[in-house]
A and B are shown apart, each in its own frame.
Chain A
Amino acid sequence: MGLNMTGKRRVVVSGIGVVAPGTPGRKNFWDLISSGRTATRTMTLVDPTPFRSQVAAEVDFDPASCGLTAAEVARLDRVGQFALVAVREAVEDSGIDLGLGDPGRTGVVVGTAVGSTPALESEYVRMSGHGSTWEVDESKAGPHYYDYYIPSSIAAELAVEVGAEGPVSVVSSGCTSGLDAVAHAVELVREGTIDRAVCGASDAPISPITIACFDAIKATTPRLDEPERALRPFDKSRNGFVLGEGAAMFVIEELESARRRGAPIYGELTGFASRCNAYHMTGLRPDGVEMAAAITAALDQAGIAPTDIGYVNAHGSGTKQNDRHETAAFKLALGEHAYRTPVSSIKSMVGHSLGAIGSIEIAACLLALQHGLLPPTANWTERDPECDLDYIPVRAREASPEHVLSVGSGFGGFQSAMIISRSGATR
């Protein structure tokens, strides 16, 4: 049995599926972020006219050409459709036959920050006559309204898809959901409750209520010109994030059983920790102490030192506050090594898809290990004195780190850190 240095079972990723802004698919995603192109543009899913922020990173998504049936499209909101397409790609990629073995030893964990909000909003508009009444007309509710109300329906859909009968859940911790959901599944495999899981995250939040609520706190960029250069993480001119959407799903397995079946192995999930800043629902302590504590605890779990980290996939949302906070946290956790470590934010290219982005960033880290190439921070042109690390500006960089760090930060004060390591059998 594969055990890591703390005596726990080891967990590897054997399959990746991605639906990211631009064209769906793992390969299209990697082509986009490794070339430094961006998928941010003037919103098309919603009429942008009434909003302060009018840019989004959207998926060019045609459900039918992604293999979804009419029934699947009818019962799933966009968030569920993304998840299902990504799961199918991940399972195919891993070559696993989930029908073999005990279905009770397979779990499903899905991260999502806002679930089926666009479908809920459509239901609301119909039932309330565009908000004309407080009481709503339940006879106008669609047949899947309850499933939109409770996002566990997304996890249930995926569990039925892959035949899982072990623990099935949604982890919804806002913008760290994508990291936390994968970590949750890893914990289940490590503790021996299950041997394999389908896990990851999906969000499709681009609808009026979500755009409006980020407008109200001025968290999204008001930049109207150059939509393709709207999101500028760590750059001096950054002024907010760009709402994105998408999904990344993984097949994870206990290392020895993955080896036995000759599975392709992208990497090992060696460490994870999260902390809460207990400070403010949207604000961040400038010192970054909780994110630093999460990073340190994740390093401890992986049994490695700060100097072993060869790349940091940053949260890098491109708000004034976040990028400053995060830079401070990296310095606190990695010390002088922070200045020698390449850091990048792929949000510059694929936007901020709330809960999904944590998993999309894990996918970016695994693909970076596979290709020996670190994705850049697009749109970085001018140094901010408060953000003085190496942000891999504009162009991808060749490198083959043994261990990479991916972090997330979200409303509620949540800070999460994950260590992803090259496995001995990395393909």
Chain B
Amino acid sequence: MNIDTLTAVLRKVAGEDDNVDLATDVSPDTSFDDIGFDSIALLEVLNLLKREHGVLLDDDVLEHAKTPAALLDVIEEERDAA
């Protein structure tokens, strides 16, 4: 999993082509809040990660991972632990 793959997942949940261009406008350290991802959208991100990329994350991961970069770190940790 790299930032491009994660961005593709975020893009799918966000409806592809919003005013915010996820590929260029958003740095990995922009908070999910700032790019308009609410709690349900983030749950949908977790659901997609699980079913399309086989990444299983704890329910409470979103309490800590507040940015794409942070979420990516958690995903990497999970993979290393597995």
Contact = CB atoms under 8 A, between A and B. Distances in A.
B37 to A, nearest CB: 12
Interface in A223-256: none
A280 B42 CA distance: 14
B38 A217 contact: no
Contacts of A44: none
B43 A218 contact: yes
A74 interface: no
A73 interface: no
A5 interface: no
Interface in B19-57: 38-40, 43-44, 47
Contacts of A150: none
Interface string A280-293: 11110000000000
B5 to A, nearest CB: 21
Contacts of A217: 40, 43
Nearest to A279: B38
B40 to A, nearest CB: 6
Contacts of B40: 217, 280-283
Contacts of A222: 59
A222 B59 CA distance: 10
Interface size class of B (residues with CB under 8 A): under 10
B43 A216 contact: yes
B47 A216 contact: yes
A217 B44 CA distance: 8
Contacts of B43: 216-218
A289 B14 CA distance: 29
Contact of A280 (B38, B44, B47, B59): B38
A129 B59 CA distance: 33
Contacts of B59: 218, 222
A218 B43 CA distance: 8
Interface of A: 216-218, 222, 280-283
Given A216-B47, A280-B39, 15 more contacts: A216-B43, A216-B44, A217-B40, A217-B43, A218-B43, A218-B59, A222-B59, A280-B38, A280-B40, A281-B40, A282-B39, A282-B40, A283-B38, A283-B39, A283-B40
8 contacts: A216-B44, A217-B40, A218-B59, A280-B38, A280-B39, A282-B39, A283-B38, A283-B40
The 9 closest A-B pairs by CB, nearest first: A218-B59, A217-B43, A282-B40, A216-B47, A283-B39, A217-B40, A280-B38, A218-B43, A283-B38
